Amino acid sequence: MGLRWYHFVLWAAFIGGMFMLPEFASKGTLRTIIFANFLAIFAISWDVLSGRTGYISFGHPFLIGIGAYTTAILTKRFDVPVEYSIPIAVVVTMIGGLIVLLPALRIKGSYFALVTLAYMELMYQLVQVIRPDLTGGTRGISGLTTLTRGAVNGYYMSVSLMLIIALAMWLLMRTRVGTALSAIGMNEESVRGSGLSPTRLKFFAFLTSAFIAGLGGAFYVHYLGSIAPRALFEINFAFTIIVAALIGGASTIIGPIVGAFFLTFLLEFLRPILPGAERYFVYGGVALFLYMYQPKGLYEIFMRGWAKLRGTRT
Amino acid sequence: MSYPLQIRNLVKRFGGLVATNDVTFEIEQGQSVGIIGPNGAGKTTIFSQIMGEIRQTSGTIKLYGEDIGALSTSDRIRRGVSRTYQVPRPFSDMSVVENIRVGLMPDSIWQMVIRSPNRDREIELALSVGFAETDLQRTPSELSMGDLRKLEMARTMATNPTVMLLDEVFAGLTVGEIAQIAALIQQMRKDGMTFLIVSHDLKALEPLVDTAIAINQGGIIAQGQFGDVMANETVRSSYLGTA
């Protein structure tokens, strides 16, 4: 795996710092960080699928939505306890991941991206018209069981979930699986020509991505206590996930976290200045600027600085 | 007798175009066979069919007596046949050793996770094709065409083949690089590797092969000793442009 002592030091410092944050940060800031944590989870999930394998998904909320709606329906309509509904939601989302995988066996590039966008739109329409007595139709479902009360507890829940996912994915991606998934993104034919099955690798990537999306989606609704299709299956939400991963640094684990925090705080910073949708115009411009001048993201800037500090090359 | 590679009545049609027309040949253990022919003759199409990248319309492909016609590319590679490509296909953001690492990987997610990369073997393969230790962390964008071909060879060798298909292995190389690759092939021949080599560089190809097959319009037009094939009148008129 090539683990070094400073990896443990950095992770320990990161985890320690995150857990000490409620001592210093206001409740308002903690609430902002909670959203950043969930966005980081979704961005990591997107990155496992798209950042690594190069199969760009424009409809990641499709998977998040499956997890979110499954647990919401199970708890609200069938009185299933949360400790059962969340694992069930994750399994159902993984089945959804297989649905996303199907087109990836035959198409790639912009065609695949469009199909995933269609999945999201389809899901949006379905939850509104199919059995609205279960899904809540256009209004969604409110009054869901919440896992925590108050900003501090919500923060600890979201940061724990985010850190567990991030650390697990970081360890997994440092194995040869991470190298093989990245290889698919660079040249799928050469992966096949190296004696590996791209289908098996994609299957793994899509299921892992769906697992994280399902887990994140399920915890997210049980943090919010409600679910609304218009907010979930919205193109802005889909692009925010993608932009977080890209400007942070695709094909990394820290990158999507950095990107998620950067974007969430940027939007919060802009809120008093531009309270309307104009905020997204500014954040789009910032993302475009960063992406044009540093396509490998903020993580690359950090790594270059680190390499310069150590006097080595990346 | 089971040949490392035996091809019988191979036919590949793309609509009305016959890309491979009733091709039959076999290669003995440790033998090196050259395939020559004009551009578009169907040489690479034969390679692609052997590797399962495209499926033949009819005919059989046997590896050590086993019909591999229905197997996937990765299954064929695991059975011992591997190829290089006319245009090298490296993993662009990976270093030389990481490129080789992909070729050394087991086709099992679980094994990939629990077992560490064999770094000694990665370095050994890189050095064996002529990379210097200082090249190991370089990425493909920093490599010359000769280095890219060496990398392609190393990654192919990493799959542990017993039969290697080399496609235009000398294209775009300098005289020095050709000599380096040729020496590597000769060494591997001594070690018992079976080769099927496509090349337009006949001068470089001649000392590397035991026999040659000339192909035109998908079909074999001559087969035998390299000199005899070169002297064949049909080969001279269709490929060499002399009669």
For residue B59, what is the domain's CATH number?
A: 3.40.50.300
* pLDDT tens by residue, A5-14: 888 888 899 9
**Does the distance separating the beta carbons of A189 and B102 come in below 8 Å?**
no
CA pair distance A11, B4, nearest whole angstrom: 52
Q: What's the gap in Å between the CA of A181 and the closest CA on chain B?
A: 10
Determine contact: A183 vs chain B, CB below 8 A: yes
- The confidence band for A4, taking pLDDT boundaries of 50, 70 and 90, is confident
Q: How many structural domains is chain A composed of?
A: 1
Residue A189, in any domain of the structure: yes
B168 to A47, B28, B147: CA distances (angstroms): 37, 22, 14
**Does the distance separating the beta carbons of A200 and B77 come in below 8 Å?**
no
pTM to 2 decimal places: 0.89
B103, B112, B115: residue with CB nearest A194: B103
* pLDDT tens by residue, A178-196: 999 999 999 999 999 999 9
Q: Kindly state the average pLDDT of the residues A112-132.
A: 90
The number of beta carbons lying within 10 Å of the beta carbon of residue B225 is 12
Determine contact: B102 vs chain A, CB below 8 A: yes
Determine contact: A195 vs chain B, CB below 8 A: yes
Cβ pair A297, A249 in contact under 8 A: yes
- The confidence band for B232, taking pLDDT boundaries of 50, 70 and 90, is confident
Residue B83 has pLDDT above 50, yes or no: yes
- The confidence band for B242, taking pLDDT boundaries of 50, 70 and 90, is low
Residue A313 has pLDDT above 60, yes or no: no
pLDDT of residue A295: 80
A182, A189, A197: residue with CB nearest B72: A197
Residue A162, in any domain of the structure: yes
For the ranges A83-92, A163-172, A269-278, B86-95, the lowest mean pLDDT is seen at A269-278
Residue A303, in any domain of the structure: no
Cβ pair B43, B198 in contact under 8 A: yes
Residue A257, in any domain of the structure: no
Q: Kindly state the average pLDDT of the residues A24-51.
A: 94
Q: What's the gap in Å between the CA of B227 and the closest CA on chain A?
A: 33
Quote the ipTM score: 0.88
How many A×B Cβ pairs under 8 Å? 82
Q: What's the gap in Å between the CA of A307 and the closest CA on chain B?
A: 15
Cβ pair B186, B208 in contact under 8 A: yes
Residue B10 has pLDDT above 50, yes or no: yes
Q: Which of residues 198-217 of B touch A (CB under 8 A)?
A: none
Q: Helix axis angle, A61-78 relative to A82-104, nearest 10°? A: 150
Residue A299, in any domain of the structure: no
- Reported as type and span, the H/E element at residue B201 is none
Cβ pair A23, A156 in contact under 8 A: no
Residue A12, in any domain of the structure: yes
Percentage of chain A exceeding pLDDT 70: 99
φ, ψ for residue A141, nearest 5 deg: -125, 135
pLDDT of residue B111: 93
CA pair distance A134, B70, nearest whole angstrom: 47
pLDDT of residue A314: 46
Sequence-ordered alpha helix ranges (H) in chain A: 5-24, 27-46, 52-53, 61-78, 82-104, 109-129, 132-135, 151-173, 176-186, 188-193, 198-224, 229-232, 235-248, 254-270, 278-293, 298-310
Percentage of chain B exceeding pLDDT 70: 99
Helix (H, G, I), strand (E, B) or coil at A221: helix
**Does the distance separating the beta carbons of B53 and A192 come in below 8 Å?**
yes
pLDDT of residue B167: 93
A266 CB-contact burial (10 Å; exposed 0-12 / middle 13-18 / buried 19+): middle
pLDDT of residue A182: 95
Cβ pair B91, A190 in contact under 8 A: yes
How much is the mean pLDDT over chain B?
A: 92
Which range of residues forms the domain containing residue B120? 5-240
Residue B173 has pLDDT above 60, yes or no: yes
For the ranges A46-55, B45-54, B150-159, B169-178, the lowest mean pLDDT is seen at B169-178
pLDDT of residue A42: 97
pLDDT of residue A267: 86
Determine contact: B141 vs chain A, CB below 8 A: no
Which range of residues forms the domain containing residue A53? 5-233
With beta carbons under 8 A apart, name residues in chain A contacting B74: 192, 195-197
Residue A201 has pLDDT above 50, yes or no: yes
Residue A294, in any domain of the structure: no
Residue A183, in any domain of the structure: yes
How much is the mean pLDDT over chain A?
A: 90
φ, ψ for residue B167, nearest 5 deg: -105, 115
Q: How many structural domains is chain B composed of?
A: 1
- The confidence band for A101, taking pLDDT boundaries of 50, 70 and 90, is confident
B77, B98, B113: residue with CB nearest A195: B77
pLDDT of residue B1: 62
- The confidence band for B123, taking pLDDT boundaries of 50, 70 and 90, is very high
Q: What's the gap in Å between the CA of B32 and the closest CA on chain A?
A: 21
- The confidence band for A3, taking pLDDT boundaries of 50, 70 and 90, is confident
CA pair distance A157, A162, nearest whole angstrom: 9
